Structure 1
Amino acid sequence: MSVLNQIAQYLYLKKKDPDAPKSKWVGYMHGINRLSILLFLLAMIILAIKLLR
């Protein structure tokens, strides 16, 4: 699976793979990954705004 597909799944832009194993720990991992991606994007937006002013 490509990195872009994984990011799309974390951010709910794409349906999850039905053949993927279902585990609560995988769900926790995906939740933490989703949070880290969103925080990173937020930080990049804030940085871009500060640099453009």
Structure 2
Amino acid sequence: MSDNKFKSFFQLGEVGNYFIRVFKKPDPNKKSNFNLRMMHGINRISIIMFLGALIVWLIKRLM
């Protein structure tokens, strides 16, 4: 029972899976449109900026 709780605590879920999926190369067999590519590009930029700001905040906090 405790092992199941441990696994469920660290599951990424839909949002976590999206963060991983947005950085993968698109499937060449799937049809993609311009709007979808731009949305994923903007999401990549925002994730990277968030992680950068989090690192800067942690460094300032620890020093």
TM-score (norm 2): 0.66
Please list every run of 5 or more consecutive structure 2 residues that lacks an aligned counterpart in the other structure: 1-12
- Tell me the alpha carbon deviations over residues 6-40 of structure 1, each in whole angstroms, 9 at most, x when there is no partner: 1001223xx6578x652111000000000000000
1:37 paired residue among 47, 53, 56: 47
Structure 1 residue ranges, 4+ long, deviating more than 3 angstroms after superposition = 15-18
For residue 7 of structure 2, what is the aligned residue in structure 1?
none
Which fold has the larger relative contact order, with Cα–Cα distance below 8 Å and residues 6 or more apart in sequence? 2
Q: How many residues align?
A: 51
| Higher alpha-carbon Rg | 2
Percent sequence identity over matched residues?
A: 40
Please list every run of 5 or more consecutive structure 1 residues that lacks an aligned counterpart in the other structure: none
RMSD (CA atoms): 2.4
TM-score (norm 1): 0.77
